[in-house]
Amino acid sequence: MRRYPTLRYIPQCGTYIKDYANRRNRVTRGLVEKPEDWEWSSFRHYATGMEGVVEIECSSTLLRIDKRHDRWTRRRGGYIVPRSAIPNTVRELKPEGMLALLLEPAGPYCDLYSFAGVTIPEQSKMIIEVVGAGFDASDILRGDIQPHERWEVSLIATSPSRPRAIRSVHQTSLVTSGEYRVTVDKRLAKIGARSRNPAFPDAELKAGHTTQLIEAGRSFLKDSHQTLLLKHANRYTPVPEKHVTAFARFVGTLLGGLSGYGIHLGSSSFAASLITKRGLTFWDFFPARRQEAASLYPKSEP
């Protein structure tokens, strides 16, 4: 039987475990009939609000969503949800076939830099786009905002699917002062839209009240004491090369590990942020082709 690696995301407010072989799932292993029956799981609390053996220390959590074979859903995640609202949120997502991924409450407005990288295995290279302080990876992944920098990383590979080491790293583009200020306004408008409608900010943005949304975004950041973007609104500070190199090295390590299990993703995108006191945090990765993406999901048991 084919064995798959297990990826763990271990937040302060509980643990989300994505087990590719489904071997550790208490239900499929026959230990309990329903997830909420497992005494030491936080599932019961998040799904129903009931207190359990596992102590939940946070008053809020970062919500991310996932839907099989459908990465760019109209609904968006990536925002803070009060603990009391989690049961209703989970119930709301279920009919849409979405998973609620609950991570530690790292606000999306406190990233020092965010990275979105695309691997090109046949050329043994990676293209990395970067946005600065107060922006997040979704800004470039969804094409909401022009990247502030673009880098190209040349990789040494033993095969097209398995990068082994970094040959070179160099910057290929850098935003101008004028372009940067435009992205700041777009980011503020997006934040203003999310402050009004976290799950569906596009509805607010399409309404066309840009000036009001910018002011709403600025007010939200001040009121919530998340002023990193405002402090860097007038001038962009380029990312140190060492952080780009670290991002590329982690991606290479992940691809090499998957290759050891016979999983070759082909061209894939990766997203991460550099967060104060937490370092480089990876949010997700996704193959460009559905065939490779399907290899990451557990196959249904007969």
Structure confidence by residue, pLDDT tens digits, 271-281 = 999 988 778 88
Amino acid, single-letter form, for residue 112: L
In this prediction, residue 301 carries a pLDDT of: 47
Q: What is the DSSP letter of 238?
A: P
Domain ranges of the chain: 6-103, 109-175+238-302, 178-235
In this prediction, residue 125 carries a pLDDT of: 87
pLDDT tens digits along 32-88: 666 666 665 666 555 555 555 555 556 777 887 777 766 667 788 778 888 788 888
Cβ neighbours around 116 below 10 Å, total: 22
In this prediction, residue 52 carries a pLDDT of: 59
Residues of the chain with pLDDT under 50: 1-24, 160-161, 163, 301-302
CA atoms within 13 A on the CB side of 38: 18
| CA distance linking residue 92 with residue 85, whole number of Å | 11
Calculate the alpha carbon distances from 290 to 119, 146, 162, 233, 265 in Å: 16, 26, 19, 39, 10
Helix axes 210-223, 177-196, angle to 10 degrees: 80
In this prediction, residue 135 carries a pLDDT of: 95
In this prediction, residue 39 carries a pLDDT of: 64
In this prediction, residue 3 carries a pLDDT of: 38
Q: Which two tokens stand for residue 238?
A: 């380029």
In this prediction, residue 46 carries a pLDDT of: 54
Whether 118 and 222 have beta carbons less than 8 Å apart is answered as no
**Per-residue buried b or exposed e for 61-84, using 16+ beta carbons within 10 Å of the residue's own CB:** bbbbbbeeeeeeeeebbbebbebe
**Fold classified for 109-175+238-302:** D-amino Acid Aminotransferase; Chain A, domain 1 (3.30.470)
The overall average pLDDT reported for the chain is 77
| CA distance linking residue 139 with residue 200, whole number of Å | 15
Whether 133 and 237 have beta carbons less than 8 Å apart is answered as yes
In this prediction, residue 148 carries a pLDDT of: 97
Whether 99 and 66 have beta carbons less than 8 Å apart is answered as yes
pLDDT tens digits along 141-156: 888 889 999 999 988 7
| Residue 271 Rama label (left phi>0; alpha psi -120 to 50; beta) | beta
